[in-house]
Amino acid sequence: MTNTSTAKLKRIRLSDIAIMIIVGIAMLMCLVPFLHIIAVSLSSKQAIISDQVTIFPVGWDWESYKIVFQDARMLRSMGITIVLTAVYTVVCMIMSICAAYPLTKRQLKGRSFFMMIIVFTMFFSGGLIPDYLLIKELGMLDSMLSLILPGMISAFNLIILRSFFTSIPESLEESAYLDGSSHIGTLIRIVLPLSLPVLATLSLFYAVSRWNGFMDALFYISNSEMYPIQLKLYQVVMNSMVTDLTAQEGAIATEVMPEGLKAASIMFATVPILVVYPWLQRYFVSGVMVGAVKG
């Protein structure tokens, strides 16, 4: 082996080590706060007040989780969010598929114009006030429709799905047409089964965005009986901040929200969506990479 080859191997090994170090640091930056929240939710009130909790629980205490699981309002918000996320994901995937598949056909007149309009929406929008006025005029305030219809299609996800459909060999579809299959039949029997990686990936994108979203619910939902879990969690945190402020000013606090209870509420709202990741992880990388091959 020449000196040049040896030097290249050393550079490659050093670059691999550097990448591993960077990835490790990034994982720690994400993992440490998560472990701290878990530790706080499982620690005793005295340990939290004395600031003894780091990433390990101190004085194990399950009382915070008992309070959370006994709160009917929190459980109702969780149920609403699960149903809302499931319906939203299904509707978004149906709309994205129905929009992306025709855009892969060369015989579709004006498809470049349609793509330009779709991409335009990624950079410009009407703004918050026009969106609110539109939802109000449509009579969708305090309705689950206000959390589903405005975000049914993501332009970014649509482009990924269209690129994946474009990568499927046309010969497969042509053979289906020769056998008498319609466009819808070809889509259902051939295209979609071959697109499971990107479908699973985009389903995860839509589900996570809906599960974590609370700004639209904050603007459109005023009925506390219809709060999704993230808006309920936002309310819990904001109420605790107000309680802390009044306590500092010397007022008598009628209800105290300990840090442990806030941490338990955060875990209660976070763990369900984390459980979904292992089921879709094998599709995640392939779905994103293959969908990004063509633009």
Concatenated DSSP letters for the chain?
--HHHHHHHHHHHHHHHHHHHHHHHHHHHHHHHHHHHHHHHHS-HHHHHTT--SSS-SS---HHHHHHHH-HHHHHHHHHHHHHHHHHHHHHHHHHHHHHTGGG-TTSTTHHHHHHHHHHHHH----HHHHHHHHHHTT-TTSGGGGTGGGS--HHHHHHHHHHHHHS-HHHHHHHHHTT--HHHHIIIIIHHHTHHHHHHHHHHHHHHHHH--HHHHHH---GGG--HHHHHHHHHHHHHHHHHHHHTT---S----HHHHHHHHHHHHHHHHHHHHHHHHHHHHHHHHHTS--
pLDDT at 154 (0 to 100): 87
pLDDT at 95 (0 to 100): 92
Residue showing tokens 């709060």 = 227
pLDDT at 293 (0 to 100): 45
Alpha-carbon gap, residue 163 to 100, rounded angstroms: 9
pLDDT at 61 (0 to 100): 79
pLDDT at 118 (0 to 100): 87
HSE (side-chain half, CA atoms, 13 Å) at 94: 8
Mean pLDDT by 10 residues, the chain (295 residues): 52 66 76 83 80 80 82 87 93 92 84 87 83 89 89 88 85 78 82 85 88 87 87 77 47 52 83 76 56 45
Structure pTM? 0.79
